[in-house]
Amino acid sequence: LNEFEIIDQFFLRKSYSKPGWVKVGIGDDGAVLAAHEDNDLVVATDTLVSGIHFWEESSPVNIGYKSLAVSLSDLAAMGADPDWVLLNLVIREADSQWLENFASGFFELADRFDVQLVGGDTTCGPLSITVTAGGWVPKEGAITRAGAKSGDLVFVSGTLGDAALGLEVEPERMANLPSLSRIHRPEPRIRLGQELRTIASAAIDVSDGLASDLTHLARASGGMGAVVDERLIPFSDNACSLKPRDELLLLALSGGDDYELCFTANPSREKAIVRLSGQVGIPITRIGMISETPGFWLIGSGGKCKQYLGGGYQHQWAPDV
Amino acid sequence: LNEFEIIDQFFLRKSYSKPGWVKVGIGDDGAVLAAHEDNDLVVATDTLVSGIHFWEESSPVNIGYKSLAVSLSDLAAMGADPDWVLLNLVIREADSQWLENFASGFFELADRFDVQLVGGDTTCGPLSITVTAGGWVPKEGAITRAGAKSGDLVFVSGTLGDAALGLEVEPERMANLPSLSRIHRPEPRIRLGQELRTIASAAIDVSDGLASDLTHLARASGGMGAVVDERLIPFSDNACSLKPRDELLLLALSGGDDYELCFTANPSREKAIVRLSGQVGIPITRIGMISETPGFWLIGSGGKCKQYLGGGYQHQWAPDV
């Protein structure tokens, strides 16, 4: 059983007793709740476990930064304006130096987005961190995974595969290759997400590889599929200098931890998206299209279309960690 | 460093950049956030770690129940009406039987309070569970720890010490002593908390022992203290049949996991509280008074008043678990 099967089998309930109130429940980047006559509340949560999502010996500054970044990335994918955050910290021991560094990384990012730490829990145990973030969208303004239509174009922000490639590169070399340090310090695409509210038909953050995440988006949008032209997938110059394109492609499709936004839009919005890319200073690349045929399809270098069955990145399901 | 010192040193910031918006931040049972012209949002979160808060071999039905109960108990202490919940599950392996039982305990309690599971995260790692609950109070209606005045009476719901005593009793005997099974299945005092909004001056849920939790409440209320008459502390008949009163007293003062509400009120409200006890069907006992002298003071069986320095229950801060 993988994460999605567990949710489906044990935790997903088809009906809510308060249907109007939960606007989006389990199965999107965040939940959307009716809260205010003008705004909806978006909440998202992620747990990072030592040995699975980061190395126990990683810099606590980076662990603090990343533990907040991944939840903010979920809010970005919903188009939400982040506002408050809860921090649940499970630590083996109360090491002051570690805690101070963890807090400095956490607050560095919190301060940039003016997010307030309003509560949490601290307990002892094997190192893991849960961050729950809350934010707001204008009423009915949240971007979900479910709005894509057949014929919508598929876009992605930034470059893909850098984080997965970073996992393969020795730490000393990585220090000289900033784009590969994204494994430690992903950038939540908050402003981009907010601007996409009125442009995108659906969005998701790319955390488990493009193939897996875009398939989720397409499936959530009424059982659609996606066709991606592999020649259009954007890679960083650093990545291209380290690996041939076909290897980078696998990292982008099935690697993890990119935390870029993948979104869809009606073709009529393409010019607005080009303009937006300039406004927010983030490259945005059109990579494909939503289709009525389910599944994830790749147009290869020869122009032929094949189904990609490689699946997504699963943080290792280890019997003992 | 204990939990409270960690929060103080590394995570508590004295000023918020959006002061009107965060009504109650770190340091209460939950955070209170301005959300709506009529209602405030209350969020609370707790992490339970295997080997610290429950035994790995405990019934997963009970683990599911308790992981939700402890967060709902925090909402109860704030007087909130619980509405939605997020579940972050870290499990070593995807054992269908365990998951099914966990979900049945979780949803048993969720359904009783009409709380909707709207999202979460599932990942692999050493077993731990984080539940984050959201609820609503009428605007400015949240009960905090900070409102007690000198001369206010101190009350407690139910009976104390049963959970701590349950830890000492063999499982076979416990099955015949339902009140001691509270270690596994605490009852969140949701309805009582809501009724107390207009009656209590301050409230807290008793999770780390009465001495510790009431001291927190008194200190948060402008540096006050509390005087408790040990002869008035309520114990269950089961507990009294198993231990002498002086041993039970230590369990109530410094044991954990009671999840009863401790609250304060102006003496003029005592009759209303007696009436409320009957309405909600929960015993409520007056046990003491708030005083201007800081600290936790006990009036003993001989009528003498002594400071109690035993501290609260700290879930073991283990170097390796």
DSSP assignments along A211-253, one per residue? HHHHHHHHHHTTS-EEEEEGGG----HHHHHHS-HHHHHHHHH
Cα separation, A248 vs A231, whole angstroms: 11
Residue B316 has a pLDDT of 46
Nearest to B316 among A86, A120, A124 (CB): A124
Helix axis angle, B60-78 to B96-112, nearest 10° = 30
CA distance B252 to chain A (A): 22
Give the pLDDT of residue A8.
Answer: 86
Q: What percent of chain B has pLDDT over 70?
A: 92
Indicate if the alpha-carbon torsion angle A11, A15, A17, A23 is positive or negative: positive
Instruction: Determine the average pLDDT of the residues in B112-127.
Output: 94
ipTM topping 0.90: yes
Q: How far is B314 from chain A (nearest CA, A)?
A: 9
What token pair was written down for A96?
């002051």
Mean pLDDT of B204-219: 96
- pTM for the complete prediction? 0.93
Closest Cα in chain A, distance from residue B72 (Å): 14
- In chain A, which residues have their Cβ closer than 8 Å to the Cβ of B17? 114, 116
Q: By C-alpha distance, which of A285, A148, A298 is closest to A211?
A: A298
pLDDT (tens digit per residue) in B121-134: 999 999 999 999 99
Instruction: Give B246 or A182, the one with higher predicted confidence.
Output: B246
Q: What is the mean pLDDT of residues B77-92?
A: 96
B107 or B16, which is more confident?
A: B107
Contacts with A, B 281-320, CB within 8 Å: 315-320
Q: 62-91 in A: which are within 8 Å (CB) of B?
A: 83-84, 86-90
Q: Which helix (H) or strand (E) holds A60?
A: helix A60-78
Backbone angles phi, psi at A269, to 5 degrees: -95, 5
Task: Tell me what pLDDT residue B310 has.
Answer: 80
Tokens of A2: 């993988």
Separation between Cα atoms, residue B53 and residue B63, nearest integer Å? 9
pLDDT, position A171:
65
Structural contact between residues B28 and B145, judged by C-beta atoms closer than 8 angstroms: yes
Distance CA B44, CA A86 (A): 8
Q: Where would I find the H helices in chain B?
A: 3-6, 60-78, 96-112, 162-168, 171-175, 190-196, 210-220, 237-242, 245-254, 270-280
Q: Encode pLDDT of A29-61 as tens digits.
A: 999 998 878 899 999 999 999 998 988 888 999
pLDDT at position B317 is: 40
Number of CB atoms found within 10 A of residue A157's CB? 27
| d(C-alpha A29, C-alpha A48), whole Å | 16
Residue owning tokens 């982008």: A252
Cβ A117 vs Cβ B11: under 8 Å: yes
Q: What digits encode the pLDDT tens for the residues B29-54?
A: 999 998 878 899 999 999 999 998 98
Residue B137 pairs in a beta bridge with B40
Q: From the list A3, A5, A119, which residue is nearest B45 (CB)?
A: A119
Q: pLDDT confidence of A320, banded at 50, 70, 90?
A: very low
User: Of A233, A276, B254, nearest to B246 (Cα)?
Assistant: B254
Helices (H) and strands (E) in chain B, counts: 10, 13
For strand A116-124 and strand A81-91, is the pairing parallel, antiparallel, or unpaired? Answer: parallel
**Structure-token pair, residue A133:** 């973030």
- Tens digit of each residue's pLDDT (9 = 90 or more) over A184-197: 889 999 999 999 99
Percent of chain A at pLDDT > 90 equals 74
- CB distance B164 to B98 below 8 Å: no
DSSP state, A25? -
User: Residue B320's pLDDT is what?
Assistant: 32
pLDDT, chain B, mean: 91
Residues from chain B contacting residue A89 (CB–CB below 8 Å): 6
Judge whether residue B291 has pLDDT over 90.
yes
Nearest to B1 among A10, A35, A94 (CB): A94
d(CA B46, CA B71): 6
Q: In angstroms, rounded to a whole number, what is the distance separating the alpha carbons of residues A130 and A42?
A: 17
Confidence of residue A269 (pLDDT cuts 50, 70, 90): very high
Evaluate whether A220 touches A202 at the Cβ level (below 8 Å): yes
Q: Are A128 and A47 in contact (CB under 8 A)?
A: yes
Distance CA B303, CA B298 (A): 9
Which of A10, A26, A316 has the CB atom closest to B100's CB atom? A10
Chain Cα centroid distance, residue B230: 20
Confidence at residue B55, expressed as pLDDT on a 0 to 100 scale: 85
Give B321's pLDDT tier (boundaries 50, 70, 90). very low
B11 to A121: CB separation less than 8 angstroms, yes or no: no
Residue A122 touches partner B, C-beta closer than 8 Å: yes
B141-200 pLDDT, tens digit each: 999 999 999 999 999 999 999 999 988 876 667 667 766 777 888 999 999 999 999 999
Of A92-96, A156-160, B316-320, least confident by mean pLDDT is B316-320
Band the pLDDT of B7: cuts 50, 70, 90.
confident
Q: Which residue of B has its CA nearest to A99?
A: B10
- Predicted pLDDT of residue B309: 87
What local confidence, expressed as pLDDT, does residue A174 receive? 67
Give contacts of A41 with chain B, Cβ < 8 Å. 35, 41
Residue A290 has pLDDT above 80, yes or no: yes
Q: How far is CA A232 from CA A189, A280, A285, A290, A311, in A?
A: 21, 21, 8, 15, 20
Cβ-based contacts of B120 with chain A (< 8 Å): 11, 26, 45
CB within 8 Å of B222: residues ≥ 6 apart: B146
* CA–CA distances in Å: residue B100 to residues A121, A126, A205, A254, B104: 27, 25, 29, 30, 6
